[in-house]
Amino acid sequence: MTNVKNIGLKSQICYILTSMKILGLESSCDETAAAFLKIRNTKYEIRNNVVWSQVKIHKKYGGVVPEVAARQHVEAIIPVIESALSGMKPDLIAVTQGPGLMTSLAVGVQTAKTLAYSWRIPLVGVNHLEGHLWSFLLNHELRIKNNVSRLKFPAMALIVSGGHTELILVRDIGKYKLIGQTRDDAVGEAFDKVAKMLDLGYPGGPIVAHFAKIGNPDRIHFPRPMLETDDFDFSFSGLKTSVKYHLEQMLPTGNLSSAFVSDVCASFQAAVIEVLTTKTIRAADKFKAQSIILGGGVSANEKLTKNLKLKTENIGLDFYYPEKWLTGDNAAMIALAGYFSKQKAGNKIWQKLKVQSNLNIC
């Protein structure tokens, strides 16, 4: 295999002359996922991408219960892997080693180590956030037409999910700098908690977004936390509390109609999106970014994607985001991130690879 030289995304992708088949494994939270990714002549082919979700199981608890999630991973992971492989054998195994729930991660990592040892093939640990960061590369148009080499650096990446809200300066593959993050609740967590207050169900992100479509985002002016601070950090705990106080004030009136609920969802979502988009654009300007990347489960929010895309194009930058089926936790993105990190892989890494629940991307 030709040695990789750190000379930019275009060169790093285009130097490959041979094919590689990668088994990706993801179990950082409540999704058991396996994918088989084939790379040949710089083009990506997702042969299989299997995701077994535990949403229905955790819905009754209003959130993910770590012990329950781990037991479900144990039961599901082998059938999921068998379905993803469909008789094919990989050249490399890529597994999420963090960040995430310790017990959930352990199931995927231990399974990957066992397979790497028994099959005598290399194994590489992947940062879950790096998977979300590059997930847009697996969009159908990009992986077939291979026009991703046009991506300009540096790029500003906004990663938003149930457990993460982070702004990352991307200078190249593997060259990252964390410039901002949430100081309390992740944005996806805030959506879940607001949905719970309104008794809308779990997970909260898609439900709140659904009601927001028919609500008035200007009906209630919720605060925009840390919007005017000089840094690029976020805070959503106070916004969530503001929603709680507003609901408590309305309870005596009995005015908790579906229209009111929709207005709360729309107004809350508008506050979140304004903070996320404003800080991302501001960060891109300060660090002279040439592109903006959006990733993570909350990137499935159509309003967020639309607003950030519009603001990005208004300042003349390119905007990249994953197709909706790639926004949630999946193993195809882990396989791709493993491909980028393959120089760290080895036949004996199974002896050293450890779960890191608080793994940082930088």
Band the pLDDT of 14: cuts 50, 70, 90.
very low
List the domains of the chain with CATH numbers: 9-139+327-351 (3.30.420.40), 153-321 (3.30.420.40)
Element (H, E) at 246: helix 237-250
**DSSP per-residue codes, 249-268:** HHGGGT---HHHHHHHHHHH
In the predicted structure, residue 147 carries a pLDDT above the cut 80: no
Question: What is the spatial distance between Cα 94 and Cα 82, in angstroms, rounded to a whole number?
Answer: 16
Q: Are residues 234 and 182 in contact, defined by beta-carbon separation less than 8 angstroms?
A: yes
Question: What is the spatial distance between Cα 279 and Cα 186, in angstroms, rounded to a whole number?
Answer: 15
In the predicted structure, residue 263 carries a pLDDT above the cut 70: yes
**Phi/psi of residue 275, nearest 5 degrees:** -65, -45
Averaged pLDDT for residues 200-223: 96
Instruction: Please give the C-alpha separations between residue 294 and each of 96, 151, 280, in angstroms, as whole numbers.
Output: 20, 14, 10
Question: What is the spatial distance between Cα 16 and Cα 173, in angstroms, rounded to a whole number?
Answer: 15
- State residue 12's pLDDT score: 40
Name the token pair of 118.
Answer: 């028994």
Band the pLDDT of 362: cuts 50, 70, 90.
confident
Instruction: Please give the C-alpha separations between residue 209 and each of 29, 35, 61, 166, 304, in angstroms, as whole numbers.
Output: 22, 29, 21, 21, 10
In the predicted structure, residue 40 carries a pLDDT above the cut 90: no
Band the pLDDT of 19: cuts 50, 70, 90.
confident
Tell me the pLDDT of the chain averaged across its residues: 91
In the predicted structure, residue 2 carries a pLDDT above the cut 70: no
Out of 83-97, 111-125, 342-356, least confident range: 342-356
Out of 141-155, 193-207, 266-280, least confident range: 141-155
Band the pLDDT of 254: cuts 50, 70, 90.
low
In the predicted structure, residue 142 carries a pLDDT above the cut 70: yes
In the predicted structure, residue 141 carries a pLDDT above the cut 90: no
Q: Nearest Cα to 54, choosing from 30, 78, 79? A: 30
Q: Nearest Cα to 34, choosing from 67, 68, 86, 83? A: 83
Tell me the per-residue pLDDT of 283-303, one tens digit each, with 9 for 90 and over.
Answer: 999 999 999 999 999 999 999
Band the pLDDT of 255: cuts 50, 70, 90.
low
Name the token pair of 213.
Answer: 């479509």
3-state secondary structure (DSSP) of residue 319: strand
Name the token pair of 3.
Answer: 């040695």
Q: Are residues 61 and 43 in contact, defined by beta-carbon separation less than 8 angstroms?
A: no
- State residue 146's pLDDT score: 54
3-state secondary structure (DSSP) of residue 289: coil
What are the percentages of helix, strand and coil residues in the chain, rounded to 5? 45, 20, 35
Question: What is the spatial distance between Cα 280 and Cα 277, in angstroms, rounded to a whole number?
Answer: 5
- State residue 59's pLDDT score: 87
The partner residues of 44 in beta bridges, in order of sequence, read 39
Tell me the per-residue pLDDT of 324-334, one tens digit each, with 9 for 90 and over.
Answer: 999 999 999 99
- State residue 304's pLDDT score: 98
Tell me the per-residue pLDDT of 298-325, one tens digit each, with 9 for 90 and over.
Answer: 999 999 999 999 999 999 999 999 999 9
β-sheet with 165-172: strand ranges across: 175-181, 165-172, 155-160, 291-295, 318-320
Name the token pair of 253.
Answer: 């009136």
